[in-house]
Structure 1
Amino acid sequence: MPSTGRPPRRATPRRYAMCRPEHFAVAYEINPWMDASVAVDRDLALAQWETLRRTYTGLGHEVDVVPALPGQPDMVFAANGGVVVRGRALGARFAHPERAAEGPAFAAWLRGAGVAVHEPEHVGEGEGDFLVVGERVLAGTGFRTAPAAHEEAARVLGVEVVPLRLVDPRYYHLDTALAVLADDDVAYVAGAFDAESRATLERLYPDALLVEDADAAVLGLNAVSDGLHVVLPAAATAMAADLDARGYVPVPVDLSELLKGGGSVKCCTLELR
């Protein structure tokens, strides 16, 4: 096989926090994916979630389960519960009152897991808008997380924070428009960002995987990578083929029921670093 010029991909064991969709429903509409008139099959959502959890453990990763709170149908989207770097977390403060109770619940659980949690001063929705790429954090704004939260994250976590502005409401969180593949590698859909942010991404990641709108529109970029295996929505078939060509191992899963709430693989997964 001819050399690609890229170093071989290597998996690194990870520790994730997840929350079962015991109370999952589309009871309100706070993103373009939600339609409260569409029925939700909670049993199917639970089964799909369990497949994702077993996928992680089958790949050698550790999964902790955060207790689900009644009346919090979006708590399954654990990535929004904070961002953790080197054992320290910036907690979550949600833009919409419907999700406000999730912030303290995730903060309490993280403290119980030995993580030092900073109570946020500004609206910031965890790994929904703060994505760790090596020693850098890419930070989304435009729909949920406030720009002031970017400065707060840099101060609290002690990392470089690079702001990116989202402009397409379908991609209301950064983790719906950009996937972290490795410490120096990302994939994204260009149309989700304003011109300045696209220029920033092109400068920082000139070899990034550019994903077509058809795969982004099924939340294909809402993916989780361990450096080798990329767990992603099964419907993102072209993205999976592109990942394979780059030396990654795509691991497709079906989270179509949870997509009704506007989330997929990454939304369900908070990494504990």
Structure 2
Amino acid sequence: MSSIITKPDELRDALKNADNMPLPDQVLMVTPDHFSVDYIINPHMEGNVGTVNPEAARWQWEVVRDKFRHLGLKMHEITGQPGLPDMVFSANQSLPYVDSKGHRHALMSIMHSDQRKDEVPFFEQWYRQNGYEIHYLNPQEINDFEGMGDAIWHFKKRLLWGGFGYRSSRKAYEHISRTLDVPVVILELIHPSFYHLDTCFCILNSDSVLIYPPAFTKDGLELIHTAFSNVIEAPEKEAEELFACNASCPDGRKVIIQKGCNEVNKALKKLGFAFLEVDTSEFLKSGGSVFCMKMLLW
């Protein structure tokens, strides 16, 4: 069922025909042993080089980890490595999935920035040790693809939403669609502060999504509104300064989100969601929050 989706009618058909997929029941995180801001590869890092408080970062990371544990997900950890301060953002280095027979797979990323390319082998090693079949993109054909930072599974469906424009190439999704045999809805990102899809697009359940509209083209917004009957729009301050849309809703009911996103939380409550606030302020300095800090998998 491979295809690249760019039009509402195509999306309606794809959602109707897409196979069901179980929700992830496990989480992979990277310990923040070496997390810091050592360079600038996104607008949020500006002015934050050398400002991370390691003790505060460790405490914040443990609170996020424990929130996922309390929601009943099995936790796995990879030890952070020296010289790889952004490895802690474990959503970026791979795209895991489970096929219709229950077999587990992982597609490895091609990181956009040279500073992050050496992160990927540590994740590949973990996947191999845990019985996943590994897949690769051809670096001769595809410049970059940053895993679930840009490729997000639809709720309980074998259908991907793929962001491109900053960290992932549009062409990558043609290969991904063929390799995984799934349709991919592509969304062009147009705001430099929202360089990954997971910074401006958070799927809550099959009917609801949280977005920051200025991050998308008009066509992209039309696709989003085609798929979701409830579209929560985060205000600028909460989206850009607090990374509201980098929340995570692993069970379709409870949303783990950076504290202070008051307008978004009101909208979540109105739709019947519970919100679990955490402090990720040290990680915001590097351009990441809850979703970036974990990888949901099977």
Interval of TM-score (by shorter of Structure 1 and Structure 2): over 0.9
Work out whether 1:171 is the aligned partner of 2:194: yes
User: How many angstroms apart in 1 are the aligned matches of 2:246 and 2:279?
Assistant: 12
What displacement does 1:270 show?
0.5
Equivalent residue number for residue 189 of structure 1: 212
Match of 2:124 in 1: 107
In structure 2, C-alpha distance between the alignment counterparts of 1:266 and 1:52, rounded to whole Å: 10
Q: Deviations over 1:142-192 (max 9, x none)?
A: 101001111122122221101000111110000000001013431111110
Q: Call closer, same or farther: CA 1:151–1:72 in 2, change over 3 Å.
A: same
Structure 1 residues without counterparts, runs of 5 or longer = 1-11
- Measured in 2, the distance between the counterparts of 1:63 and 1:174 equals 24
Aligned to 2:281: 256
Which residue does the alignment assign to 2:258?
Answer: 233
d(CA) in 2 for partners of 1:51, 1:239: 21
What is the aligned partner in structure 2 of residue 132 from structure 1?
153
Q: Distance in 1 between matches of 2:109 and 2:79?
A: 17
1:33 counterpart (44, 65, 85): 44
* 1:55 corresponds to: 67
Alpha-carbon contact 2:93-2:111 (below 8 Å) kept: no
Q: Which amino acid in structure 1 is aligned with residue 153 of structure 2?
A: V
Partner of 2:126, secondary structure, is: helix
CA contact (8 A) 1:90 1:156 kept: no
2:28 is matched with 17
* Paired residue secondary structure (2:40): coil
Q: Is 1:221 aligned to residue 233 of structure 2?
A: no
How many corresponding residue pairs?
Answer: 262
Deviations 1:228-254 (A, max 9, x none): 110011121211121111111100100
Q: Give me the whole-angstrom Cα distance separating, in 2, the residues matched to 1:112 and 1:186.
A: 34
* TM-score (normalised: structure 2): 0.85
Other structure's SS at 1:258 match = helix
- Deviation string, structure 1 residues 13-65 (Cα, Å, up to 9, x no partner): 72110001110111110000003545110111111000111111112111100
Distance across 2 between alignment mates of 1:140 and 1:37: 27
CA RMSD between the two structures:
1.4
TM-score normalized by the length of structure 1:
0.92
Q: How far apart in 2 are the matches of 1:90 and 1:184?
A: 27
SS in 2 for 1:262: coil
Deviations along 1:111-137, whole A, 9 cap, x unmatched? Answer: 212221212223110110001113221
State the alpha-carbon separation in 2 of the partners of residues 18 and 64 from structure 1.
Answer: 6
Cα distance in 2 between the residues matched to 1:13 and 1:109: 17
Paired position in structure 2 for 1:161: 184
Runs of 5+ unmatched residues, structure 2: 1-22, 99-103
In structure 1, the residue corresponding to 2:280 is in which secondary structure?
Answer: coil
- Percent identity among equivalent residues? 32
Contact 1:140/1:174 (<8 A) preserved: yes
